[in-house]
Amino acid sequence: MDIRAQHRVHGGTLSYVQHESASTGGTMRFSVFTPPGAGPFPYLIWLSGLTCTEDNFTTKAGAYGAAAAHRVAIVAPDTSPRGDGVADDPAYDLGQGAGFYIDATEAPWTPHFKMESYVTRDLIAAVEEGFPLAPKRSVFGHSMGGHGALTLAMKHPSLFKSVSAFAPISSPTQCAWGEKAFSAYLGAKRDAWKAHDAALLIEAGQAAPFDDILVDQGLGDQFLENQLKPELLEAAAAKAGQKLTLRRHEGYDHSYFFMTTFVADHVAFHAARLA
């Protein structure tokens, strides 16, 4: 593990880190904020959206004041493997920067695009070994990362105490972003896609370990109707008898201006469940 830079913020320490990942077969990067004090701290894993790196949330979300106040750490990984030997695509919504937090089974993606295994295995092991973090963690994310947070929490409930999302891709099997990525990474057989669809997982009862799921959605979001479809989460939760708190906000778009407005609510939501 190599600490590339460190900064003082809200009395705590923000570190930029790179390390080698067995899952992705290369170097991965993440940031980690630890609050003031000795720890060990419970922590949140933030999963970012399309085109993002480990830096977007770190510099734009404004989450560390709330994290320091609640004495929780925050880890923010990159969104995909990267490098000259890693498969890519010219489009923004496939390849590097668009890992979708799944393990690819199709060429040319399968050697490196193992983001589900990376987040749930390599990243957790690295941060808990290298920083004063307790094995008590929650997960949240935005857009593609909201999809990742919801699905990884439901597929690996023993790893996470709680889950929330901003403007998540609610049902990737029913939108263009998801259909494109899943066709490439998982192949044409749509049955293989169902395990990575938050709405379908909720409907199947896999959110039962969580007392509530918090989702914030801006009504000025340009992707709301065609890609995000939060109403599918509501319908699935109603069928499953699952508590889901979906908050709709007039005028807010898909940007980090939206997230910085409400991120303290999410930190508090998770801190209460990690206490």
Question: Residues with Cβ < 8 Å from 271, sequence gap 6 or more?
Answer: 42, 70, 71, 72
Interatomic CA distance for residues 244 and 246, integer angstroms: 6
At residue 14's C-alpha, the angle toward residues 116 and 94, to 5°, is 35
For strands 2-9 and 12-21, give the pairing: antiparallel
Q: Could you tell me if 168 and 76 are in contact, meaning their C-beta atoms sit under 8 angstroms apart?
A: no
Of the candidates 70, 270, 268, the one whose C-alpha atom is nearest the C-alpha of residue 161 is 270
Residues annotated as catalytic are 143, 221, 254
Q: What are phi and psi of 41, to 5 degrees?
A: -110, 140
Tokens of 253: 């778009």
Question: Residues with Cβ < 8 Å from 40, sequence gap 6 or more?
Answer: 132, 133, 134
Tokens of 150: 């919801």
Q: Could you tell me if 162 and 138 are in contact, meaning their C-beta atoms sit under 8 angstroms apart?
A: yes
Q: Could you tell me if 63 and 45 are in contact, meaning their C-beta atoms sit under 8 angstroms apart?
A: no
DSSP 121: I
Q: Could you tell me if 170 and 233 are in contact, meaning their C-beta atoms sit under 8 angstroms apart?
A: yes
